[in-house]
Chains A and B, each alone.
Chain A
């Protein structure tokens, strides 16, 4: 479904990603784990077009369409803008939630459907409220007055409104109480089983490996390990570095 090939990304002169290649297949939950500053968020932001790869040879392909780079037999280099990428069906839940604080919950959800141009249907709201019943109670409340957990739910709900095929989650557990984190991760699994492919960036390697099918381990901008999550969870190196053994 999604394929990254040899992607380099730099912030000015600082190299953040070095020839990162990875793949997400339809229906999977793929986790990206690694320490602070390893390049996890950078990878997600590059997929959603907020950052541009530095090298022309790199390629990002989503459902056979080039988000970035040139197809093999063509010299034209694609470099799609974030709003076009959302229209293709890739939606990112940004790090730190980033709901629109002075808009109501309802308006936030409406904004989520912005890329679809037509008005969202009742079904779209129902889908979000099915996963997050608490948002329904708070429809008219300003998003800035929600608790951290509710804001995270709203941020995910907002992304779902664009009917994404691939949902990119950037640190959904950040700053949340352990019980809430577990609740959110259950909901992520639910969303996945209702047909949305998920790519997840997470500091909490333990939880990430638990719910994902496959995972990649990033270290200083390179992918150092990849495999099924079960295998990785047993890998002694991973256990020592990320699972605290």
Chain B
């Protein structure tokens, strides 16, 4: 018993230390990096958080959601209202953004639970359109003109700390009882049910956590660009996040991170091609899917690879030939 408790404490302390170090490193980087690259860094962080949320919904429980940008917009508007209209501090705004999106995730999760695959995708697509139209017509959100006057409160350390925290939580979740149950739901719903997994509960849970991430991402986005409008969160945005997850490898956390980094930076690095930029971007996606249909890191087991590498190292030290 004591051993477990110690372990747990060690994990929490390690987690906090990593966060502090991330914050300090990011603080240092933000001083020396050119603003343009720093801006890309901001969006990498936001996109990693967004994509990790979608990875939980689409990758872990296998629910194809095309409404991820809607949850992002809910988080963005909720946090903007919190900090601008209600004068609440920024951390509260982030939390409210996440919770608002989470709430809608649960609300949309329930009726669509009976759907799966293509049908769920279309239902979430419809939901995203409804959200967009509502935001376009609401007074408090500034309607079609957009929400003006959001303060630029997002700093590089804040983004990086939240990103690292999100990655850690996702990795911990993946190996927990809950995470395994979610994977079981994706693998085979009937088998999952027959071993006593409450599939409704885990699907809702994935939707709730995934949309919470999207809400946090939206809050960070709103306070980075300082101006948001409903068209920022259209259908293409949802597809972009899905691209990141699928490109990296559906269900793989390292894959999702790499997918988000590659797809966030690619359009920037392709700027020298001017008008052909998006053409090449699209071509890259097609080539990727032909040569790595399961994503960059799909089917690649990190833990196994690491343990194999360690095992090999030990054998080499013991004098074995490779």
- Residues on A lying within 8 angstroms of B by beta carbon are 48, 50, 81-83, 85-87, 91-94, 98-103, 107, 110-112, 114-115, 117, 158-159, 162
Contact = CB atoms under 8 A, between A and B. Distances in A.
Contacts of B180: 103, 107, 110-111, 114
B191 A103 contact: no
A98 B191 contact: yes
Given A100-B183, A100-B184, A107-B180, A114 B196 contact: yes
A50 B188 contact: no
A112 B195 CA distance: 5
B180 to A, nearest CB: 6
A115 B177 CA distance: 10
Given A98-B190, A100-B188, A100-B191, A114 B197 contact: yes
Interface in B184-209: 184, 187-188, 190-198
19 contacts: A50-B190, A81-B198, A82-B193, A83-B193, A83-B197, A83-B198, A85-B196, A86-B194, A92-B194, A98-B188, A100-B184, A100-B187, A100-B192, A102-B187, A111-B197, A114-B177, A114-B180, A117-B177, A159-B195
Interface in B212-270: none
B188 A83 contact: no
Nearest to A101: B187
A203 B195 CA distance: 24
A91 B197 CA distance: 12
Contacts of B184: 100, 103, 111, 114
A158 B188 CA distance: 14
B197 A94 contact: no
A140 to B, nearest CB: 8
Contacts of A107: 180
Contacts of A48: 194
Given A100-B187, A115-B197, 12 more contacts: A50-B194, A81-B198, A82-B193, A82-B194, A83-B197, A101-B188, A103-B180, A111-B180, A111-B192, A111-B197, A114-B181, A158-B195
Contacts of A81: 198
Closest 9 CB pairs of A and B: A115-B196, A86-B196, A98-B191, A100-B187, A83-B198, A83-B196, A92-B194, A82-B193, A94-B194
Contacts of A158: 195
B196 A162 contact: yes
Contacts of A50: 190, 193-194
Interface residues of B, number: 16
Contact of B191 (A87, A99, A115): A99
B171 to A, nearest CB: 16
A115 B195 contact: yes
Nearest to B200: A81
A131 B151 CA distance: 65
Contacts of A87: 196
A104 to B, nearest CB: 9
Contacts of B190: 50, 94, 98
Contact of A82 (B181, B183, B196): B196
A103 B194 contact: no
Given A83-B197, A86-B196, A94 B187 contact: no
Contacts of B197: 83, 111, 114-115
A145 B195 CA distance: 21
Contacts of A93: 194
Contacts of A99: 188, 191
B60 to A, nearest CB: 12
Contacts of A83: 193, 196-198
A65 to B, nearest CB: 16
B207 to A, nearest CB: 18
A87 to B, nearest CB: 6
Contacts of A91: 194-196
Nearest to B193: A82
A93 B194 CA distance: 7
A185 B303 CA distance: 37
A48 to B, nearest CB: 6
A93 to B, nearest CB: 8
Nearest to A85: B196
Contact of B195 (A101, A102, A114, A117): A114
A159 B193 CA distance: 12
A142 to B, nearest CB: 9
Contacts of B181: 111, 114
A115 B191 CA distance: 13
A100 B196 CA distance: 14
Contacts of B191: 94, 98-100
B194 A98 contact: yes
A98 B198 CA distance: 17
Contacts of B177: 114, 117
A86 B183 contact: no
Contact of B183 (A103, A115, A117, A159): A103
Interface in B45-87: none
Of B181, B187, B196, B198, most A-chain CB atoms within 10 Å: B196
Contacts of B183: 100, 102-103
A41 to B, nearest CB: 11
Contacts of B187: 100-103
